[in-house]
Structure 1
Amino acid sequence: MLYRRANVQGATWFFTVNLAERGHDLLIRHVDLLRDVTREVKNRHPFEIVAMVVLPEHLHAIWTLPADDADYPMRWSLIKAGFSRSLPKSEAIRQSRLHKRERGIWQRRYWEHQIQDDADLQAHVDYIHYNPVKHGHDRLPVEWPHSSIHQFIERGWMAADWSAADAILLGHE
């Protein structure tokens, strides 16, 4: 079955990307590797990371692509492959993945949503930053170390004590 994706150059996208094994903590155990691979892909195929959070078994990101580019699938493919190739083989690999020479670390598909306007962007940024609390990893968004919330606070775009309650009061959720 052919999976069709939108082809909009220069768009801003929200993504959810999951590990195949949802109970693992591979992404935070190897967060520096994930950062390095993402940086390498970003250097070769530029895009802006608007917001991002890395949790143990999934991540959320908002990217803006260059004005003449719509190829986010290639970027995700390179990130997932680069991350996987750098890890020792320890996961169970199904026959269907062996046949395609896949490691079995990531789910094949991911969720993408094209950001429509400023309100949609704000809602997804808030979702990203509140996600560690939603999943019970921390009590406050600022406590989670693998989040762009720290850059948002540093730049004065969010208060250090921001929470989803603030987003709800502002009508962003």
Structure 2
Amino acid sequence: MSNYRRLWVPGGTYFFTVNLLERRRRLLVDHADLLRDAFRTARAARPFDVLAIVVLPDHLHCVWRLPDGDADNANRWAQIKSTFSRTLPIGERRSPQRIARRERGIWQRRYWEHLIRDEADLRHHVDYVHINPVKHGHAARSADWPYSSFRRWVSAGVYPLDWAAAEPELVSVRGER
């Protein structure tokens, strides 16, 4: 069994990558409204501030800050994942282990987490979040991807609207590189 070590810093700011179990599925953008509701429900139960987020078809990246004295990322993610999963009809393949544990086959069990160390680290990870749709070939510019906090950051004056525009020849008709 793997030995996962998490940094528990009350009031910390964290970067996350959370993946679907079947990476070829498009559940996160096809049901973006349900994912947004799952985040809203989790935030109502256990408050946290979403600083930056991008939702891609098969994974998401998020930077959030916990309240002072609170270091519980795990239960927040469990609630987001379970709330989202419960809203979808059962149709995915499930392993015997997942069936025995009464788990859905939507999300990977684990997520990747990084504790933000300082302002430069925060800026680096927020940039990474916002450039991801361009990096994966889903959009020619960060501003073109609708499932992102990028436009909020543009409104705040942090980015120009044309930040992270891909060179036109690098984006194909299907949006892949």
- Asked whether the two chains share a fold, i.e. TM above 0.5, the reply is yes
Deviates more, 1:2-11 or 1:152-161: 2-11
Whole-angstrom CA distance in 1 between matches of 2:26 and 2:18: 14
- Cα drift, residue 44 of structure 1: 1.2
Question: What 5-or-longer segments of structure 2 have no aligned partner?
Answer: 167-177
Give the aligned partner of residue 101 of structure 1.
102
Structure 1 segments of 4+ aligned residues over 6 angstroms from their partners? none
1:28 and 2:21 correspond: no
Look up the SS of the partner of 1:21 in the other structure: coil
Give the aligned partner of residue 125 of structure 2.
124
- Cα drift, residue 7 of structure 1: 1.1
Whole-angstrom CA distance in 1 between matches of 2:5 and 2:100: 23
Q: Superposition pairs for residues 8-19 of structure 1, below 5 Å?
A: 8-19=9-20
Question: What one-letter code is carried by the residue in structure 2 that aligns with 1:124?
Answer: H
Give the aligned partner of residue 47 of structure 1.
48
Give the aligned partner of residue 7 of structure 1.
8
Give the aligned partner of residue 70 of structure 2.
69
- TM-score, normalised with respect to structure 2: 0.90
Give the aligned partner of residue 61 of structure 2.
60
- Cα drift, residue 159 of structure 1: 0.8
Give the aligned partner of residue 115 of structure 2.
114
- Cα drift, residue 85 of structure 1: 0.6
Q: Is the 8 A contact 2:10 2:67 kept in 1?
A: yes
1:91 and 2:89 correspond: no
Look up the SS of the partner of 2:93 in the other structure: coil
Look up the SS of the partner of 2:82 in the other structure: helix
Whole-angstrom CA distance in 2 between matches of 1:96 and 1:30: 26
Question: What one-letter code is carried by the residue in structure 2 that aligns with 1:49?
Answer: V
Question: What one-letter code is carried by the residue in structure 2 that aligns with 1:144?
Answer: W
Question: What one-letter code is carried by the residue in structure 2 that aligns with 1:115?
Answer: I
- Cα drift, residue 164 of structure 1: 7.3
Whole-angstrom CA distance in 2 between matches of 1:140 and 1:47: 28
> Aligned Cα RMSD in Å?
1.2
Aligned residues: 165
Question: What one-letter code is carried by the residue in structure 1 that aligns with 2:64?
Answer: W
Question: What one-letter code is carried by the residue in structure 2 that aligns with 1:100?
Answer: R
- Cα drift, residue 74 of structure 1: 0.3
- TM-score, normalised with respect to structure 1: 0.92
